[in-house]
């Protein structure tokens, strides 16, 4: 079960004017499950995205990048079950054919459609099933189908992931709603596994591209389950402009800071939900690193801790074998780190200082914290003012089982 995660029901998700969503059972990999999603955007909407840096990126990622640069976007299409990654030229052709099929259905150009896939790598899409399912998606289109959409993009997720906020900009109510999926192969190097956030705010495309990167860096780029960057990671931000305020044209525009804060809040909730629902997770762990010379080295230390199998299995066992955390800090690639200046806490318990075990540390205090389902690890590097936060989970027996059985 997810760690302290209460997924929102349909009644807690707000419709975004200018966005409609439809789902269908296409039988892409398994029967009797919703596995195809169509998101239609009204004319005038803007979209921006960030994508995986995995060099073996999936065909839909390649097509998405090209289409975002070519034309205003009118639709997004998402399939689960098969990732269309490691599929060569046929994979590109299939992604383009999916866009063409959507374009014919809703009356736009193929380059105005963004395709997304998630699932098993190195298998081809069943194009006839996808083409047969798309008319059913169109028939199901509705503004209040965000919860259904969140369920339709799940793979090994155990619960749908969605969030909503409203804010005021120039006296107008602005709505933000987003969905994401992911539970394993999680260590984004740009954004999330699949994430889509829409708002009815009016935002110019250059500002939207800036926002999507800033929001990703403060949310989805701060999580890890297993340290594996997916071939398909994609995060798209949509602004329909229906709220009625003046367009946000630069960072100094009225409403920019308010909108960015609200977008970040939604993205953080979605990103943390991915970790809380990590494959086999039993604990949610916050790693805070401070006192670094720059944020890059703080993030390096945070990820060294959060991705260490030895650290993660110790958390699963509630074992205060905390030398493993110190080893991870020392293995983070800071060649001139003075270990005598490093301090380590578990919640409020000072574990290490002066290059070793703190004189006041008692193992029973560490054991008490390790039994909690939510734990904060805090590291002070003692060499500057920079800081960073990473969110992760433990490794349990179920992580191995889920991934060993994934294709069966």
Active-site residues, by number, are 192
Contact by Cβ (8 Å): 26, 10:
no
Q: Tokens 């899409």 correspond to what residue?
A: 125
Structure tokens that stand for 141 in this block:
């289109």
Q: Tokens 């490691």 correspond to what residue?
A: 86
Helix (H, G, I), strand (E, B) or coil at 115: strand
* Cβ neighbours around 369 below 10 Å, total: 19
Contact by Cβ (8 Å): 394, 315:
yes
In 89-117, which positions are buried (b, 16+ CB within 10 angstroms) versus exposed (e)?
Answer: eebbebbbbbbebbbebbebebbbbbbbb
Full strand arrangement of the beta sheet holding 386-393: 356-357, 349-353, 343-346, 374-380, 284-292, 386-393
CA distance 169 to 186: 34
User: Could you tell me the CA-to-CA distances from 74 to 43, 68, 114, 174 in Å, in that order?
Assistant: 7, 11, 8, 21
Q: Tokens 């989970």 correspond to what residue?
A: 393
């Amino acid at each position: 079960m997810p760690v302290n995660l209460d997924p929102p029901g349909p009644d807690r998700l707000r419709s975004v004017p200018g966005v409609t969503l439809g789902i269908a059972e296409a039988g892409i990999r398994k029967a009797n499950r919703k596995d195809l999603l169509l998101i239609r955007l009204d004319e005038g909407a803007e979209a921006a995205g960030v994508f995986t840096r995995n060099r073996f990126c999936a065909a839909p990622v390649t097509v998405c990048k090209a289409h975002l640069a070519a034309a205003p976007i009118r639709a997004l299409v998402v399939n689960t079950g098969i990732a269309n990654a490691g599929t060569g030229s046929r994979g590109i052709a299939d992604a383009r054919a999916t866009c063409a099929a959507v374009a014919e259905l809703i009356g736009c150009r193929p380059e105005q459609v963004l395709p997304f896939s998630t699932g098993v790598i190195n298998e081809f899409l069943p194009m006839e099933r996808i083409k047969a399912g798309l008319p059913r998606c169109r028939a199901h289109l509705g503004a209040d189908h965000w919860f259904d959409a969140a369920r339709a993009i799940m793979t090994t997720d155990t619960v749908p992931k969605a969030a909503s906020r409203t804010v005021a900009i120039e006296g107008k109510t602005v709505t933000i709603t987003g969905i994401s999926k992911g539970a394993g192969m999680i260590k984004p190097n740009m954004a999330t596994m699949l994430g889509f956030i829409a708002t009815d705010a009016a935002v110019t495309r250059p500002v939207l591209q800036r926002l999507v990167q800033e929001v990703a860096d403060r949310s989805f780029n701060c999580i890890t389950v297993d340290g594996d960057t997916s071939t398909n990671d994609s995060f798209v931000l949509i602004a329909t402009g229906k709220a009625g305020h003046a367009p946000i044209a630069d960072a100094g525009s009225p409403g920019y800071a308010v909108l960015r804060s609200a977008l970040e809040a939604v993205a953080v909730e979605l990103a943390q939900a991915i970790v809380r629902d990590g494959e086999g997770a039993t604990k949610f762990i916050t790693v805070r690193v401070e006192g670094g010379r720059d944020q890059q080295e703080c993030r390096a230390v945070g990820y060294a801790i959060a991705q260490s199998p030895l650290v993660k299995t110790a958390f699963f066992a509630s074992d205060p074998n905390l030398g493993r955390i110190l080893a991870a800090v020392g293995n983070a690639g800071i060649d001139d780190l003075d270990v005598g200046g490093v301090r380590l806490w578990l919640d409020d318990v000072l574990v290490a200082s002066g290059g070793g075990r703190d004189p006041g540390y008692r193992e029973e205090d560490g054991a008490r914290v390790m039994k909690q389902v939510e734990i904060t690890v805090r590291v002070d590097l003692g060499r500057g003012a920079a800081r960073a936060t990473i969110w992760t989970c433990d490794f349990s027996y179920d992580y191995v089982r889920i991934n060993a059985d994934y294709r069966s």
